[in-house]
Amino acid sequence: MKTKSLLVLIVIITIVIGAGFYVDTRLRGINLMFNTTVIPRNGTQSDSSSTAEASLASKIDLKNYGMAPDFAGISTWLNSSPLTIEGLRGKVVLIDFWTYSCINCIRTLPYVTKWYDTYKNNGFVVVGVHTPEFAFEQDTNNVKDAIQYFNIHYPVAQDNQYRTWNAYSNQYWPAEYLIDKNGNIVHVHFGEGEYDVTENIIRALLGLNPATTTAPSNSLDQVQSPEMYFGTNRLNNLTPEQTPSLSSTMYSFPQNLSLNNFALEGNWQFSPKSIALVSGQGKIKLKFHSGKLYIVASSANPNQLSVVIDGKDQLPVVVKDSKLYTLFDSNDYSDHIVEVTIDQPGFNAFTFTFG
C-alpha cells in the first residue's frame, strides 16, 4: 500500500510539474522568432540594473524572451529620427504594435500615452510600430492626423511592409513587447486589459515602487458580436440569403436577420477588402449584441449616414476620411438591430467593430 501510494504521489507530482511546464511553454510559444528560453533575472544576463530595480523586478513574473529584434523596413519615422534597439540600450522600451482604425488599439492609447508622458524622464521610451491593416492606413498623412488626434508624443514607426511585424512574428493589434535596459524582451501582452500589471512592470524595470492602481471595468466581456469584415477576403457575417459579387449587384433586405449577420440594400460591389456603394442610396442592416457599434469607412465626398437603432433615430454620422466612426454608444449590452442609410455613392465600408 505504501509503495502504491508513493507511486501515485510521484505520478501526481509529475502531472503537476508537467502542467506547469505546459502552461509556461504555451506562454512562450507565441511564434516569436527570437530565443524564448526563460532566463532568471539574476542569471547569466548582464547586470547593469540597480539593486533596487532587481529587487522590485524579482517580485514580478518577468521572463526573458531573448534579445528584441531591431526595427526593419520602416518607411517613415514620425515624432523622432530613426531609432535602433541597440541605440535604446539603457532605457526601458515598450514596443506597441497598432493601427489607427483599430478600436482595440484606440482603447489602449490613453494608457500608453499616459505611461510615456509620466515616465519618459525616468528613462522610458515607447515606440509605436504602426502596421496597417488596410491600404489607407499606409498613408503617412493619415497616420500624422491620427498621431495628432490621439495626442501621441512618442516615436511612431511606419511598418507598411510588415517587416518589423514579421521580425517579432507578431499576429495581433494591439500587441505590446516590453524591453528591459539590456535589450531583452521580458513581458508580452496581446489585446486590451491588464493595464495595471503592465504599468507596474514598467515601474519595476525603472526601479520605482509599485503604483496602487485600479483596473478598469471590462465591458468587453458583455460583447457577443465579433469584428465583421465586409471584404471577401474575410467575409463571414453576410446573411446567407445574399451572395457577394465582385461586380455591381442590386440587393434587397431579407425578411429575417440572424444575430451577427448583416444584409445590404441597394447597388453594391464587393472587393477583397471592402464593399462600395455604386449608385443611388444604399442601406446596411445588422443584428448585433453589444452596447457600442463602430464602422471603419470612407467616402469620396462627405456622405451623411442616417442611423436607426431598434427603430429609434440616432445622431447622423458624416463619413469622409478613412477611419473609424461611432454609430452607437450606450451601456445597453443586449441584442440590437441597426439600419444605416447612406445618402450617395462613393461610400466604402471595411469593418463593423464593437465595444
| Phi and psi angles of residue 211, each rounded to the nearest 5 degrees, phi first | -95, 145
**Average pLDDT in the 208-218 region?**
74
Helix (H) or strand (E) holding 302: none
- Looking at the DSSP assignment, which residues form a beta bridge with residue 275? 270, 349
Average pLDDT for residues 222-236, to the nearest whole number?
Answer: 96
Residue by residue, DSSP assigns 241-264 as TS---SS-EEE---S---TTEEEE
- The grid coordinates listed for 261 are 449577420
Would you say the pTM of this structure is higher than 0.85? no
The SS3 assignment for 286 reads: strand
Per-residue pLDDT tens digits for 163-172: 999 999 999 9
Strand duo 92-98 + 76-78: pairing: unpaired
222-354 adopts what CATH topology? Jelly Rolls (2.60.120)
CB 201 within 8 A of CB 62: yes
Give the residue carrying C-alpha cell 515624432.
79
Taking a C-beta distance cutoff of 8 angstroms, is the pair 49, 207 a contact? yes
The Cβ of residue 159 has, within 10 Å, a number of other Cβ atoms equal to 27
Torsion angle of the four alpha carbons 205, 210, 213, 219, in this order, in degrees rounded to the nearest 10 = 40
The residue among 344, 92, 332, 97 whose CA lies nearest residue 200 is 92
Amino acid found at 225: S
The half-sphere exposure of 154 on its side-chain side, counting CA atoms within 13 A, is 25
Evaluate whether 206 touches 92 at the Cβ level (below 8 Å): yes
Domain ranges (residues) in the chain: 27-216, 222-354
Between 291 and 56, residue with greater pLDDT = 291
The per-residue pLDDT for range 122-178, each reduced to its tens digit, is 999 999 999 999 999 999 999 999 999 999 999 999 999 999 999 999 999 999 999
Q: What per-residue confidence (pLDDT) applies to 216?
A: 61
How many helices and strands (H and E) does the chain possess? 6, 15
Q: What is the CA radius of gyration of the chain?
A: 24
Query: Omega before 132 cis (within 30°)?
Result: no
Grid coordinates representing 18? 508537467
Q: Which three cell numbers stand for residue 350?
A: 471595411
Report the C-alpha gap between 234 and 327 in whole angstroms: 22
Average pLDDT over residues 291-319: 97
For 244-262, b where at least 16 C-beta lie within 10 A, e where not — what string?
beeeebebebeeebeebbb
**Of 324, 290, 289, whose CA–CA distance to 98 is shortest?**
324
Amino acid 211: pLDDT: 85
Q: Residue 99's pLDDT band (boundaries 50, 70, 90)? A: very high
Cα 43 to the center of its chain, rounded Å: 33
The class that CATH gives domain 27-216 is alpha beta
Residue 296 has pLDDT above 90, yes or no: yes
Strand 303-309 and strand 124-130: the pairing is unpaired
140 is written with which cell numbers? 503617412
Q: What span, in angstroms and rounded, lies between the C-alpha atoms of 253 and 308? A: 15
pLDDT (tens digit per residue) in 12-49: 434 333 433 323 322 323 334 333 332 222 222 333 34
